């Protein structure tokens, strides 16, 4: 037996354990200080009643002989695929239920989609970014080219036509920078992909935070995207499903490479290696997309948006450069006083009792940046903004 040695090329991520260790040490030294956690990338608002009612009802159905369900379709129940297609249609984007694959979240699908591509492919990944893209490709032994996201380009880098890549990652709204690509920028990626025969993996996990109709929420709003882009979405941040687990991936029929349909390949991959998301969770997801559900989700999204606005106002007030904070739950701020991101972490914890996420955890270009999130409670967000204003 020979191990996959690419696993040994992964850099050990101590980001969250390091944060926990430092916070614990601080708490032991200052038991009187209330620590405010602005580093979490998880939602905190509970599921709306319309969603939990659907979950309960589906659980009851499973307990009766006449409505019990065993294995469901690997691609997802038609009722949920239709609800997702309607969710797109309401924004004027045509995606058919056959092109939608229900899964247990964007993270799994983003990792699993790589089954479809040769290990010889070259991958273009922005830096900084959600670390899953980098690690899943290192595991497969692919060579990675980094797309430099910096303060100069507003953390919205564009591909360079002289650099050749086969797989391009886009995350918009971005984790961790909160930056959102506009239509023109996305079109540049699509044009590059079509010229180079490349595929775009478009992570739209935070699309629901976009409130400006001028900004694209789906890559399929753009010309030519159906021929080159796969879109990954999730109920996690949109509907508070981080603990329930449900997402969907869209592969249009036009994705044909070397005469082969990526949609067919993905269907084959899923029917071979995946047995679907549980029935109650799919019912809950469909309820989240119902008119009542969408109203309730919008309330939660507005709550997080207002938190983001409070933090953005504070950063503006302090004259700190930042991206995000609008159309995103993340604020990506330049560390003050020229500090590095871990130094700033310690400084903010010591002087304000606030925990954020050091930018270095998301790539080398995060070294002088720091991520704050809007997923906390309103009270904590207001208190954190007040404490930072006093620094
Ligand atoms: N993509 C991005 C950019 C994320 O930040 C996250 C979660 O934090 C995910 C995907 C994973 O989402 P899911 O919970 O659907 O697996």
Reported as a single tens digit per residue, the pLDDT across 159-218 is 999 999 999 999 999 999 999 999 999 999 999 999 999 999 999 999 999 999 999 999
CA–CA gap between residue 233 and residue 246 (Å, rounded): 9
Whole-number mean pLDDT of the chain? 97
Which atom number of ligand 1 is nearest to the Cα of residue 174? 3
Q: Whose CA is nearest to atom 11 of ligand 1?
A: 107
CA–CA gap between residue 210 and residue 215 (Å, rounded): 7
Q: Which of 16, 136, 175 to mutate to test the pocket of ligand 1 (most atoms within 8 A of CB)?
A: 175
The percentage of the chain sitting over the pLDDT mark of 90, rounded to a whole number, equals 97
Reference 346, options 34, 22, 41, 14; nearest CA is 22
Q: Which helix (H) or strand (E) holds 37?
A: strand 36-37
Beta bridge partners of 136: none
Whether the pLDDT of residue 41 is over 90: the answer is: no
Q: Cβ(201)–Cβ(170) under 8 Å?
A: yes
Q: What is the pLDDT of residue 157?
A: 98
Q: What is the pLDDT of residues 223-243, one digit of tens each?
A: 999 999 999 999 999 999 999
Which atom number of ligand 1 is nearest to the Cα of residue 42? 8
Q: What is the pLDDT of residues 325-337, one digit of tens each?
A: 999 999 999 999 9
| 3-class SS string, 271-307 | HHHCCCCCHHHHHHHHHHCCHHHHHHHHHHHHHHHHH
Q: Whose CA is nearest to atom 5 of ligand 1?
A: 175
Q: Whose CA is nearest to atom 2 of ligand 1?
A: 205
Q: Cβ(322)–Cβ(308) under 8 Å?
A: no
Confidence of residue 14 (pLDDT cuts 50, 70, 90): confident
- At 202, phi and psi to the nearest 5? -105, 110
Q: How many CA atoms lie within 13 Å of 310's alpha carbon, on the beta-carbon side?
A: 24
Q: State in Å: Cα 141 to ligand 1 middle.
A: 22
Whether the pLDDT of residue 40 is over 90: the answer is: no
Q: What is the pLDDT of residue 15?
A: 86
Beta bridge partners of 144: 123
Q: What is the pLDDT of residue 77?
A: 98
Is 249 close to ligand 1, i.e. is its CB under 6 Å away? no
Mean pLDDT of the region 295-322: 97
Q: Which helix (H) or strand (E) holds 386?
A: helix 378-389
Reference 339, options 325, 356, 314; nearest CA is 356
DSSP state of 224: T
Q: State in Å: Cα 157 to ligand 1 middle.
A: 21
Q: What is the pLDDT of residue 179?
A: 98
Reference 190, options 209, 215, 218; nearest CA is 218
Is 244 close to ligand 1, i.e. is its CB under 6 Å away? no
Q: State in Å: Cα 45 to ligand 1 middle.
A: 17
Is 54 close to ligand 1, i.e. is its CB under 6 Å away? no
Residue 112: count of CB within 10 angstroms of its CB: 17
Q: What is the pLDDT of residues 93-146, one digit of tens each?
A: 999 999 999 999 999 999 999 999 999 999 999 999 999 999 999 999 999 999
Is 203 close to ligand 1, i.e. is its CB under 6 Å away? yes
Q: Cβ(357)–Cβ(34) under 8 Å?
A: no
Q: Which of 112, 180, 234, 281 to mutate to test the pocket of ligand 1 (most atoms within 8 A of CB)?
A: 234
Is 242 close to ligand 1, i.e. is its CB under 6 Å away? yes
Confidence of residue 11 (pLDDT cuts 50, 70, 90): confident
CA–CA gap between residue 334 and residue 344 (Å, rounded): 10
Is 111 close to ligand 1, i.e. is its CB under 6 Å away? no
Which atom number of ligand 1 is nearest to the Cα of residue 110? 10
Rg of the chain over Cα atoms, rounded to whole angstroms, equals: 21
Q: Which residues contact 144 (CB under 8 A, 6 or more apart)?
A: 122, 123, 124, 125, 134, 137, 138
Is 105 close to ligand 1, i.e. is its CB under 6 Å away? yes
Q: State in Å: Cα 202 to ligand 1 middle.
A: 12
Laid out side by side, the sheet with 143-148 consists of 100-103, 247-250, 229-234, 199-203, 167-171, 122-127, 143-148
Mean pLDDT of the region 284-313: 97
Which atom number of ligand 1 is nearest to the Cα of residue 241? 14
């Amino acid at each position: 037996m020979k191990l996959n040695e690419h696993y040994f090329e992964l850099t050990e991520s101590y980001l969250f354990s390091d944060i926990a260790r430092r916070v614990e040490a601080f708490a032991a030294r200052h038991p009187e200080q209330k620590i405010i956690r602005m580093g979490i990338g998880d939602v905190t608002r509970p599921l709306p009643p319309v969603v939990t009612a659907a979950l309960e009802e589906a659980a009851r159905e499973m307990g009766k002989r006449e409505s019990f369900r065993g294995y469901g379709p690997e691609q997802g129940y038609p009722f949920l695929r239709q609800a997702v297609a309607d969710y797109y249609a309401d924004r004027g984007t045509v995606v058919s239920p056959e092109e939608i694959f229900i899964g247990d979240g964007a993270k799994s699908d983003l990792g699993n989609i790589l089954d479809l591509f040769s290990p010889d492919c070259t991958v273009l990944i922005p830096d900084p970014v959600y670390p899953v893209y980098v690690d899943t490709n290192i595991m497969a032994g692919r060579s990675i080219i980094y797309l430099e996201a910096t303060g100069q380009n507003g953390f919205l880098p564009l591909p360079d036509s002289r650099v050749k890549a086969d797989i391009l990652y886009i995350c918009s709204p971005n984790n961790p920078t909160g930056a959102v690509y506009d239509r023109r920028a996305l079109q540049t990626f699509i044009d590059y992909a079509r010229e180079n025969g490349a595929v775009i993996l478009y992570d739209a996990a935070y699309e629901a935070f976009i409130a400006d109709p001028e900004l694209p929420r789906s890559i399929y709003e753009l010309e030519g995207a159906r021929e080159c882009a796969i879109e990954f979405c999730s109920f996690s941040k949109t509907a508070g499903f981080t603990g329930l687990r449900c997402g969907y991936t869209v592969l249009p029929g036009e994705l044909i490479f070397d005469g082969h349909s990526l949609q067919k390949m993905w269907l084959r991959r899923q029917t071979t290696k995946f047995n679907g998301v549980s029935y109650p969770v799919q019912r809950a997801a469909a309820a989240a997309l119902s008119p009542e559900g969408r109203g309730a989700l919008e309330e939660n999204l507005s709550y997080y948006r207002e938190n983001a606005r409070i933090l953005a106002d504070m950063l503006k007030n302090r004259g700190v450069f930042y991206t995000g904070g609008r159309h995103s739950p993340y604020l990506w701020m330049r560390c003050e006083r020229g500090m590095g991101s871990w130094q700033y972490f310690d400084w903010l914890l010591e002087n304000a009792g606030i925990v954020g996420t050091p930018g270095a955890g998301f790539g080398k270009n995060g070294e002088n940046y720091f991520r704050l999130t809007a997923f906390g409670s309103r009270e904590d967000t207001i208190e954190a903004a007040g404490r930072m204003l006093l620094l």
